[in-house]
Chain A
Amino acid sequence: MSPDRETQSELAAGPDPVTAPTPAAAAEAEAEILEEQFQPGEADQDFMTGTPVRKAQHFWPSAKRLFGLLKPEKASIALVLAMVVVAVVLNVIAPKVLGNAMDVIFNGAIGMNLPAGASQAEVIAGLRAQGQDQFADLLSGMELVPGVGIDFQLLGNLILLVLGMYVVSSLFMWLQGWLLNQIVMRVVFGLRRDVEAKLNRLPLNYFDTRQRGDMLSRVTNDVDNIQQALQQAFAQLIMSALSLLGITIMMFIVSWQLALIALIALPLSAVGAGLIGTRSQKLFTAQWKHTGALNGHIEESFSGHDLVRAFGREQQSVEQFDEKNDELYKASFGAQFVSGMIMPVMQFISYLSYVGIAVVGGLRVASGSMTLGDATAFIQYSREFNQPLSQMAGMANMLQSGVASAERVFELLDAEEQEPDTATETLPAKTDGHVEFHNVSFSYTADKPLIEDLSFSAAPGQTVAIVGPTGAGKTTLVNLVMRFYELDAGRITLDGVDITALSRAELRSKVGMVLQDAWLFGGSIFDNIRYGNLDATEEEVMAAAKATYVDRFVRALPDGYDTVIDEEGNNVSAGEKQLITIARAFLANPSLLILDEATSSVDTRTELLVQHAMAALRSDRTSFVIAHRLSTIRDADVILVMEDGKIVEQGNHATLLAAEGPYYRLYMSQFAAAADPVS
């Protein structure tokens, strides 16, 4: 939105670019929402999936604060952690017990083929005497009774033991997950509520200076991200780290030689993952870039479809698309291939260590320095070793993304709030609507003063028309009456009371506002009108609708007052929407009114109704009208002519015309032209 400096003549159509949301802004918001979906890409990506990962600015402080959210749940969290520890410990020991069970089987299998009656030592000695040294070596490492088969008593006990361990660990895993789920949901529920409450305490200029899409995404996507991080990353990271530690310890207990072989795989995996990771990250960046470019082209071609057809540009559009599409194909193929290599490569490395363990383990068992059960236990450990490793990588990404999101949410939560209400004074239920500006100065940014030393008075029941070119500060002026912004200097009074001494709620309940941008929420027409006064009865709503010409078109709708206004609501035209907003203000029955008259793309007969409805609304109330219609201006009690934030003239139509000052010039350029189109 760039204010149109070159011409001062957009009075009839252009809304103030400073504050009023324009159709352009709405389109922008739309684009932002689309953008959110596509996530085009400067951001880093998770190398496995290619989803962009946001990076935190200050990782540790933000992470600390993120986990600080769990503080009120300290006791439960401790319980979760305790359960995780028990589950992991049991999980880590179990393969060793399984290995022992395997030994029992192996011992039995070997033992039953040996002559009964002899002791183990005698058998070994006998074997050595026969020159079967290798087999003797094997037996020397075992505990067996020659001639006796598998000890099923012992085997049964071991199996029951290991099952018991697994049952307990699974149970604890489930319990901690369940408990953590409750905790996280409670925390996230609270976080969402806090953020929403915060939105209501933020000053309006916070909303003016930020993109809507960005704010929305903070409250939705970012909070979701936090939820994921807390729910998954948190427990999983601890679990993976503990498992890793436990497995390493167990591997060394079982056999340090084999453990070393298994650990060699670690740096190998790291190098492999690192090499492929960096490469694929680059390729993913390219992929997201091309995705963004292609999606942009699709968006644009489909949005401007009529033009592409009408100007016969299909060929060029398709050619451009094909070119971009092909580029995307090349980029994404590269990215997917390289990132897809990670799995097989990691698997290969784990196979290498598997082979190493099988061979070395086999040799050691054969030489009697290790039992077969230990070797099989080891194989299981080495397999399980890789799992927490890759999990940790994934969780680290998720956590990083979660912390970055948390940072953005905290930024919002930390934003400076509007000044708290002092509410030292109150007004009677029915106010006169006497508004005075005393030497008011205001600016959006400190270095650009907009309104300076402005004073005027609006008597009860008067209509004040505010006229002037785009960017003169007309919308700002009425925003100040609503106390949407705080003054830099001076004061505004309502019935003699400084509006800052009133609570915002009380002040605003005295004022009705109809903006040029007809904001309605996604609900029925009835509910939208009743928004002006939630306690209104059905009859009152109907009466307001009748008084403001809403009734006439609503009756023609198939669903009448139950017609739902939605974003695509083609059933209700822009002019009709505006009528609904007028009905809403009518129902609120304020003593002071603020109207923005600008209407565009409304057919003239509907516009006439809007005019009538606004007039009905104005009767007997003090009204500030950002005026675009000659009739309103001419009939106003006071006309404020604004230029560059200053009131350069005030008076009524006749006196101002006679003065031949700024108003006269404005009048001649705007309305004289209309009367004589060939000028």
Chain B
Amino acid sequence: MLLRVIRHYGRPYLPLVFAVVVLQLIATIAALYLPSLNAQIIDEGVARGDTDYIWSTGGVMLTVSFVQVAAAIAGVYFGSKAAMAMGRDLRRGIFHKVTGFSAREVGQFGAPSLITRGTNDVQQVQMLVLMGLNFMVMAPIMCVGGIIMAVREDLQLSWLVWVSVPLLFVVVGLLVWKLMPLFRTMQEKIDGINGVLREQITGIRVVRAFVREPYEAKRFEKANRELTDVSLSVGNLFVLMFPSIGMILHLATAAVLWFGGLRVDAGDIQVGALTAFLQYLLQILMAVMMGTFMAMMIPRASVCAERIGEVLDVEPSVHEPAKPEAAREPAGVVEFRNVTFAYPGAEVPVLRDVSFTARPGQTTAIIGSTGAGKSTLISMLPRLFDAGSGDVLIDGVPVTRMARTDITDRVALVPQRPYLFSGTVAHNLRFGNPDATDAELWEALRVAQGDGFVRAKDHGLESVVSQGGTNVSGGQRQRLCIARALVAQPKVYLFDDSFSALDVATDARLRAALKGTTKDATVIIVAQRVATIIEADQILVMEHGQIVARGTHEQLLESSETYQEIVNSQTAVEEVA
């Protein structure tokens, strides 16, 4: 998956990657050339006492160093460009994909998980690519180049390369291989201890109320002990790493001196070649080490790439029609025809064979216990979901054949979870109609019973709203969400349990005010409180995904047992009727 993601998103930057490889090649060859030049200084210059030669070779070394740094910097330039551009494209790919998702796909992953995938996970993959371009390209070149140079200096000594490189590889690889699962366990234990603490802090009142401090301390002690144990194991392995690497390097050095000495004594090689060989061997070993360390990043990035791939692979269940039907004069007639809907993998459909019509100027209310499928039902109008079978029509046209803009022009949703975007009050209210005037905003606020508290704020419409709307109370948030829908002036209003955070009196005032504003529109209300829907023109009673009864309040009181049950439960709770 990691390869697939990198291949796909790296393709446009192949020329850059190619440039990086070429530049790294140049830089590495230059770096490898230096010890060879140094050897020449010793063999040709020093051993013969030729100072002119020393000077001129020094000049060559200087030039080579310049070439090296220039190539390396240019390599970093193209490498960063390619990696960052790829990261950008990957983020864009995910964002565009998710924007096209329906509520079903978002629900499948969960918004927080999608956020992590679009931010953190991309970051990880991007870092791997960057490091890879900066170092991982260099390591094999260095390794191969070093081996070639070393062999060139003395073929007979090259067995030292064949012994030491695999040895280092095995030792470092073994340690890394042992460490990897431990790192994962450590992360789990860290999550564990964080979990215990989070619960202690969020539940501090309950912990104290039940005098469970000792119990919690024990729980924490256990998590702490587990984390410490695994950290100890990690640490104990980790401290082996550098001494053992060092030992291998030193052994190799000693071996080169001894066996090289033998070869020098036999007159097979010169002393300079020996020093060059030594430096090449060290360079090779460094490259192997670097490559192995880099390899440690791969598993983590793979997991991230996997998670990214999952998002990219999902086909949205809601498609835009290729040829949308021409829009008719908007009226706002909503019709459900034998609509059935099931979540993927679920045995029982959430909605079964639902049919009803909601007309302009009428209020249609939907009531029923949680999980009865009410929210899913109205989510089908703005196509957050599509029906599994059956049709959802607006003004006689199935929503699946309408252009998105035609739908969004007609329908406005007030969601169950009142959500506001960061920005100002005005910015949020204009969400559904960017051209609305301030006067229109105030009017919407007045109807939504929100003008009072907005006016009381220091900056009125320009007051800042934090992300999610966490800086206003739940009731205020709900009223702003209602106002937002009003500003859009749609033909169809969808209120998904949108009055729950309002007290009964505000609820009543709001509905009274709404009546005037929405008198020509189709209003569909999902509600828990009977009081909210008592005046609706038709009430749909839902249970287990089906409409079990429909009619007005009075009719239903007569005819529907389920409705009576609901009303009675509320009477007991609220003493409404």
Assess whether A134 is in contact with B80, with CB atoms less than 8 Å apart.
no
Report if A29 contacts B (CB, 8 A): yes
**A365→B47 CA distance, assembly (Å):** 9
Assess whether B384 is in contact with A310, with CB atoms less than 8 Å apart.
yes
What B residues does A333 contact at CB under 8 A?
80-81, 84-85
Report if A167 contacts B (CB, 8 A): yes
Interface size on A, residues (CB 8 A): 182
What B residues does A180 contact at CB under 8 A?
239
A325-363 toward B: CB 8 Å interface, digit per residue (1/0)? 110110011001100110111011001101100110011
Report if B210 contacts A (CB, 8 A): yes
Report if A413 contacts B (CB, 8 A): no
Report if A675 contacts B (CB, 8 A): yes
B103 contact from A305, A313, A484, Cβ within 8 A: A305
**How many pairs of A and B residues are in contact by the CB < 8 Å rule?**
505
Interface size on B, residues (CB 8 A): 180
Assess whether B370 is in contact with A603, with CB atoms less than 8 Å apart.
yes
B288-310 toward A: CB 8 Å interface, digit per residue (1/0)? 00000000000000000000000
Assess whether A189 is in contact with B225, with CB atoms less than 8 Å apart.
yes
What are the 7 A-B residue pairs with the smallest beta carbon separation, nearest first? A177-B239, A312-B408, A134-B49, A359-B58, A344-B72, A181-B235, A348-B69
Assess whether B257 is in contact with A102, with CB atoms less than 8 Å apart.
yes
Chain B stretch 60-113: residues in CB contact (< 8 A) with chain A: 61-62, 65-66, 68-69, 72-73, 76-77, 79-81, 83-85, 87-88, 91-92, 95-96, 98-103, 106, 110-112
List 11 additional A-B contacts (Cβ < 8 Å) besides A24-B474, A300-B422, A306-B106: A3-B473, A150-B261, A177-B238, A299-B119, A301-B98, A302-B114, A305-B99, A309-B384, A321-B95, A348-B69, A670-B504
What B residues does A104 contact at CB under 8 A?
261
Report if A569 contacts B (CB, 8 A): no
Report if A105 contacts B (CB, 8 A): yes
Assess whether B475 is in contact with A10, with CB atoms less than 8 Å apart.
yes
**A106→B531 CA distance, assembly (Å):** 103
Report if A414 contacts B (CB, 8 A): no
Assess whether B190 is in contact with A224, with CB atoms less than 8 Å apart.
yes
**Stretch from B244-252, B322-330, B352-360, B439-447 that touches the partner:** B244-252
Assess whether B468 is in contact with A303, with CB atoms less than 8 Å apart.
yes
Report if B147 contacts A (CB, 8 A): no
**A383→B571 CA distance, assembly (Å):** 86
Report if A137 contacts B (CB, 8 A): yes
**A301→B198 CA distance, assembly (Å):** 27
A123-140 toward B: CB 8 Å interface, digit per residue (1/0)? 000000000111111100
Report if B575 contacts A (CB, 8 A): yes
Report if B471 contacts A (CB, 8 A): yes
What B residues does A192 contact at CB under 8 A?
193, 220, 224
Q: In the complex where A109-B265, A212-B202, A611-B573 touch, is A174 in contact with B243 (Cβ < 8 A)?
A: yes
Report if B3 contacts A (CB, 8 A): no
| Interface of B, helix, strand, loop or mixed by DSSP | helix
A105 contact from B73, B76, B271, Cβ within 8 A: B271
Report if B421 contacts A (CB, 8 A): yes
What A residues does B110 contact at CB under 8 A?
568
B203 contact from A291, A352, A521, Cβ within 8 A: A521
Report if A480 contacts B (CB, 8 A): no
A207 contact from B204, B275, B404, B468, Cβ within 8 A: B204
Chain A stretch 632-679: residues in CB contact (< 8 A) with chain B: 669-671, 673-675, 677-679
Least Cβ–Cβ distance between A104 and chain B, in angstroms: 7
Assess whether A329 is in contact with B468, with CB atoms less than 8 Å apart.
no
Report if B194 contacts A (CB, 8 A): yes
Assess whether B431 is in contact with A189, with CB atoms less than 8 Å apart.
no
**A588→B384 CA distance, assembly (Å):** 45
Question: A534's closest neighbor in chain B, by CB?
Answer: B215
Assess whether A605 is in contact with B369, with CB atoms less than 8 Å apart.
yes
Report if B521 contacts A (CB, 8 A): no
Assess whether A519 is in contact with B95, with CB atoms less than 8 Å apart.
no
Report if B10 contacts A (CB, 8 A): no
Least Cβ–Cβ distance between A160 and chain B, in angstroms: 8
B209 contact from A38, A150, A482, Cβ within 8 A: A482
Least Cβ–Cβ distance between B73 and chain A, in angstroms: 5
Assess whether A355 is in contact with B217, with CB atoms less than 8 Å apart.
no
A215 contact from B31, B68, B99, B201, Cβ within 8 A: B201
Assess whether B235 is in contact with A508, with CB atoms less than 8 Å apart.
no
Report if A23 contacts B (CB, 8 A): yes
Assess whether B231 is in contact with A511, with CB atoms less than 8 Å apart.
no
Least Cβ–Cβ distance between B435 and chain A, in angstroms: 13
Report if B541 contacts A (CB, 8 A): no
**Stretch from A11-19, A54-62, A66-74, A444-452 that touches the partner:** A11-19
Q: In the complex where A137-B49, A231-B235, A352-B65 touch, is A13 in contact with B206 (Cβ < 8 A)?
A: no
**A333→B16 CA distance, assembly (Å):** 14
Assess whether B205 is in contact with A515, with CB atoms less than 8 Å apart.
yes
A105-124 toward B: CB 8 Å interface, digit per residue (1/0)? 11011101000000000000
Assess whether A362 is in contact with B467, with CB atoms less than 8 Å apart.
no
Report if A193 contacts B (CB, 8 A): yes
Assess whether A298 is in contact with B231, with CB atoms less than 8 Å apart.
no
Report if A422 contacts B (CB, 8 A): no
What A residues does B261 contact at CB under 8 A?
101, 104-105, 108, 150, 152, 155
A13 contact from B205, B475, B570, Cβ within 8 A: B475
